[in-house]
With several copies, the nearest count.
Chain A
Amino acid sequence: MAPKKPAKNNSGLAIKIGSIELANPTILASGVLGVAAGGLIRAWQGGAAAVVTKTVGIESRTGHPGPRIVGIYGDSLMNAMGIPNPGIQEYLPEIESTIKHEIPVIGSALGNSPDEFASVAEQLAKAGVTAIELNVSCPHVGSLYLLGMDPQSVTEVVTEVVQRVKGKTPVWVKLPGSTDYPCLVKVAQAAEAAGASALVALNTLPALAIDIESRRPLLGAGIGGLSGPAVKPIAIRAVWELHQAGIAIPIIGVGGILTGSDVIEYFLAGASAVQIGTGVLTRGSTIFSNVCNEISDYLKEHGINQISELVGRINDAGVSS
């Protein structure tokens, strides 16, 4: 069974993230569909120009006990999967069978130390991933969230990873769902200075939901990460703050994207590409092509040739940070 490449009837959607060229700006976010090659392929057949793998580490993780997801008012979601993954060795075949279909795969990595991050990254690079995404920001796994809030730690991780992949594979850093933008900017600057090729903003936001019948947290892990429409204006603010602060590497926006409008909003704020996760639940795995069609309509209606022309083109005269 050879998966079919989705029709590319949308012009003006091609974008670049540094040296990486993609057919359109939509990328499958990490942790969604990505446990298996088939999931990554499904997203790509649904229109995603690239796919991010499930975050993987050196060792396998069973993840948190269930419930692992819970719906929040307004099509939003909380999850506490706990980054289940079979470990990089076991996971490599999934990546390889995806890459075999000429699908750009971004490998998401975690680690307990700069060295662990780098080991995972090395193996991902060897498997031929298009880029590596460092997950320094999962809000419900140990100290990952705090790692991503600390510029010094981020410097160490990124420096080690970039050195070990010898600058051959671009390294992206996924930022935490923080509302402390001055801190976020410092982390972003640290990542950029240490050699990151792009930033991904944002991971889920730390949150808690309680069942009032059993009086227990609605997620097995207690704390979870908020995603979906609830976080969109917060993530867009983050993208804008990073752009404003003069971050020169591309910013990939993620959080709450459901429609082409949402993507345009991210681009205007300063994003050069986007990722979609929770939207797969709301609109199905063809959300990527649906969103691309909506972007195309917008570009046509507004006489814009390339979506990339919109990056950072918010008219924010008079708006103060």
Chain B
Amino acid sequence: MTMNDNFNPSAIIRPIVTPILGVTTETPRTKAFTISAPSIGKHAVPGQFVMVWVPGIDEIPMSISSVNQGVEFAAARVGDATTQLHKLKKGDLLGVRGPLGKGFVFPKATEEKIMLLVAGGCGSPPIAFAATMAIRMGFVVDVALGATSKAELLFFNRFKDLETQGVRRFVVATDDGSDGLLGTSVDAATFLLDTDPAYSACLACGPEGMLVNLNTLLQKYSIPLQVSLERYMKCGVGLCGHCIIDLEGSRVCHEGPVFDAKNLEESDFGKVTRDATGKKEPLQFESNTS
């Protein structure tokens, strides 16, 4: 119902509650949801996210994966809210507010510019959106996609389809070797870099360990890296401070979720995260530098 739009606070602090337009199963553990929220879709850029209200359960952050047919996001089933979310069907009500945060910054495109996009695990949504945008802006795009197994390669078909539209090379890697290279998205990226390291920028999203390793890798090539981070979010609009990652008070929900990796040196990036209480917990992952 749009009758009192004039009187409503902006959609970044008040959810648009609307029936789901469509649900698609993307991988065994991931479904994509599309909702009608033109005011969000119109302004969203890749890397921005929405807070998704699963009525009766919780409100959780989800990256926007597309704004073509409505606002789309893709959620992996990991806990309470995402499990309930996966039970919802077309027509069920969902709340979304956004677009939130700052997205990827696209360098000025020229004919020479080639962009590397790297997605690991559940990191595909913002990268898929970014790929579409980069192509529309005239970039030559290479994509490195990684997952645990072939079945879990999120948005594989979507990236594949983009090969006809502007994706130059699309390399996948799986932990179990069931598709592409044996390894992670960082290994896929390494493969691409080995062939042609002339990237003007790299945008990445995925598990934080992967982002750290990717950063180490790209520093060798001096390719500027933008990473999309995840932190526990409470307000999503920079008010509560729960998602802060450094002493300057950088908020993942507000200054991020996309950061220039070079600005994260003195931050919690790759080191610690906070749980729902605000307690700090060390991040554990396998490093490629050791």
Q: Which A residues fall within an 8 A CB radius of B? A: 1, 3, 31-43, 45, 54, 60-63, 65-73, 75, 77, 79, 81, 84-87, 90-91, 97, 211-214, 216, 218, 220, 229, 258-262, 278, 280-281, 285, 294, 297-298, 301, 315, 317-318
Q: By the criterion CB–CB under 8 Å, are B17 and A66 in contact?
A: no
- Per the bound structure, the CA–CA distance linking A317 and B56 in Å amounts to 8
Residues of B within 8 A of A67 (CB): 15, 51, 53, 59, 95
Within 8 A of A (CB), among B31-86: 51, 53, 55-60
| B contact set with A: CB distance below 8 Å | 1, 3-4, 7-10, 12-15, 17-18, 51, 53, 55-60, 93, 95, 234-235, 237-242, 244-251, 266, 274-280
Residues in B with CB closer than 8 Å to A1 are 246-248, 266
Could you say which residues of chain B place their CB within 8 Å of the CB of A318? 56
Whether B246 and A60, one on each chain, are in contact in the complex, defined by CB atoms closer than 8 angstroms, is no
Given contacts A86-B277, A213-B1, A261-B1, contact A71 B239 (CB under 8 A): no
Q: A71-B8, A71-B14, A214-B17 are in contact. List 14 more A-B contacts (CB 8 A).
A: A31-B240, A36-B278, A45-B249, A67-B59, A67-B95, A69-B234, A70-B13, A73-B7, A77-B13, A81-B234, A85-B278, A216-B55, A218-B14, A218-B15
18 inter-chain pairs at a CB distance below 8 angstroms, sorted by A residue, are: A1-B246, A3-B247, A32-B240, A35-B241, A38-B248, A39-B241, A39-B249, A42-B244, A66-B59, A67-B95, A71-B12, A71-B13, A79-B235, A85-B278, A218-B15, A258-B4, A281-B237, A298-B1
Considering the chains assembled together, what is the distance between the CA atoms of A175 and B12 in angstroms?
A: 30
Shortest B233–chain A CB gap in Å is 9
CA–CA, A259 and B201, complex, Å: 42
A294 engages B250 (CB within 8 Å): no
Complex CA–CA separation, A281 to B280 (angstroms): 25
| Pairwise interchain contact B17-A211, C-beta atoms closer than 8 A | yes
**Cβ of B15: which chain A residues have Cβ within 8 Å of it?**
67, 70, 211, 218
In the bound complex, residues from chain A placing their C-beta under 8 Å from that of B1 are 212-213, 261, 297-298, 301
In whole angstroms, what is the CA distance A144 to B242 when docked?
22
From A261, which residue of chain B is reached at the shortest CB distance? Answer: B4
* A93 nearest CB neighbor, chain B only: B280
